[in-house]
C-alpha cells in the first residue's frame, strides 16, 4: 500500500483537511515560478495546521534549481521533513543536502528508458517520476507507467506522479507498486485550491483498505 503525497498546498484549510484525512506527505512549493508558490512566511501557518491535525504527516518542500543555502535555510526555518528537487540539480547537490541531514527526493521528467537507467547517479532517498513539463511538474499528464515499473523492478524507491487522479490512481498503484503516489492538479478546483471531496477520493482509491476518518 503506497504512501500518499498531496502537493501544492497553499491554504490552511487544505493543509488541515489533507492531514486529517490521512495524507502521509504534504507538498509546499517554494519555486518562484510556480502557480502554487508559498514563501517561508506563508508556509508557516500551513505547517502548524498540518502538525496540529496529524502527528505523523511529513512536510515536503519543493525547489527548482535553487542554491544549497536557500534550500537549507528554508528547510530549517519552516521545519521541513524532506526536500524535493524538481530542476536540473546535479547529483552533487543531492549528496551535499544529504550530508546536512536532509532527506532528498529527486524528481525526473521521464521520456524513455535512458531516464530510468540514469537514476542511480542521484543518491536520493527516493526518485519522483513525472511527465515532462515546462512548468516543472503539475502538467496533469501521465507518462508511460511501464517506465516506472522498470524503475521499481530495478530496485529504486519510486514516487509516482504525473496526471494522477481519483479515477486512475488505483490502476497506477496496481501496475507500478510505487513507494508513494503524488498528486496536485488531480485533486484541485483551481491551482493551489484543493477540492476536499477529490482529496478524500484520491486517498481512498490509492489505499482502499484505509478509509479517511
pLDDT at 212 exceeding the cut of 80: no
Degrees, nearest 5: CA angle 160-143-174:
50
Active site residue 21: no
pLDDT at 211 exceeding the cut of 50: no
pLDDT of residue 141: 85
pLDDT of residue 136: 61
How far is the CA of 141 from the CAs of 19, 102, 190, 195, in angstroms? 25, 29, 16, 19
Nearest C-alpha neighbor of 162 from the set 190, 182, 192: 182
From 65-74, 138-147, 159-168, 187-196, the region with the lowest mean pLDDT: 138-147
pLDDT at 160 exceeding the cut of 50: yes
- The C-alpha atoms of residue 76 and residue 170 are separated, in whole angstroms, by 35
**How confident is residue 13, by pLDDT bands cut at 50, 70 and 90?**
very high
pLDDT of residue 209: 63
User: Given CA atoms 14, 16, 17, 22 in this order, what sign does their dihedral have?
Assistant: positive
**How confident is residue 135, by pLDDT bands cut at 50, 70 and 90?**
low
Q: 33-54: per-residue pLDDT in tens?
A: 999 999 999 999 999 999 999 9
Q: Which residue ranges form the domains of the chain, and what is each CATH number?
A: 3-206 (3.20.20.70)
118 CB-near residues (< 8 Å, 6+ apart): none
Active site residue: 7, 21, 125, 182, which one? 7
Query: Percent of the chain at pLDDT above 70?
Result: 95
Q: 161-194: per-residue pLDDT in tens?
A: 999 999 999 999 999 999 999 999 999 999 999 9
pLDDT of residue 178: 98
Dihedral (Cα; 202, 205, 206, 212), 10-degree rounding: 70
pLDDT at 133 exceeding the cut of 80: no
pLDDT of residue 132: 84
Residue 209 or residue 29, greater confidence: 29
Interval 142-157 mean pLDDT: 97
**How confident is residue 154, by pLDDT bands cut at 50, 70 and 90?**
very high
Active site residue: 14, 16, 21, 130, which one? 130
Q: Report pTM.
A: 0.94
Amino acid at each position: 500500500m503506497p504512501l500518499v503525497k498531496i502537493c501544492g498546498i497553499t491554504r490552511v484549510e487544505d493543509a488541515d483537511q489533507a492531514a486529517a484525512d490521512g495524507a502521509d506527505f504534504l507538498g509546499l512549493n517554494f519555486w518562484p515560478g510556480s502557480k502554487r508558490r508559498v514563501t517561508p512566511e506563508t508556509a508557516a501557518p500551513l505547517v502548524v495546521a498540518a502538525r496540529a491535525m496529524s502527528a505523523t504527516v511529513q512536510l515536503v518542500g519543493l525547489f527548482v534549481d535553487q542554491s544549497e543555502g536557500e534550500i537549507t535555510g528554508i528547510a530549517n526555518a519552516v521545519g521541513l521533513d524532506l526536500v524535493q528537487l524538481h530542476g536540473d540539480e546535479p547529483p552533487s547537490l543531492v549528496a551535499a543536502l544529504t550530508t546536512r541531514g536532509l532527506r532528498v527526493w529527486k524528481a525526473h521528467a521521464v521520456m524513455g528508458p535512458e531516464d530510468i537507467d540514469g537514476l542511480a547517479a542521484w543518491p536520493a532517498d527516493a526518485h519522483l517520476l513525472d511527465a515532462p513539463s515546462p512548468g516543472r511538474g503539475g502538467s496533469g499528464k501521465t507518462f508511460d507507467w511501464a517506465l516506472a515499473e522498470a524503475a521499481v523492478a530495478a530496485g529504486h524507491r519510486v514516487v509516482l506522479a504525473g496526471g494522477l487522479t481519483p479515477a486512475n490512481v488505483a490502476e497506477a498503484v496496481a501496475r507500478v507498486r510505487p513507494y508513494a503516489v503524488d498528486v496536485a492538479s488531480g485533486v484541485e478546483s483551481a491551482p493551489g485550491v484543493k477540492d476536499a471531496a477529490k482529496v478524500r477520493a484520491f486517498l481512498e482509491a490509492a489505499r482502499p483498505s484505509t478509509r479517511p476518518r
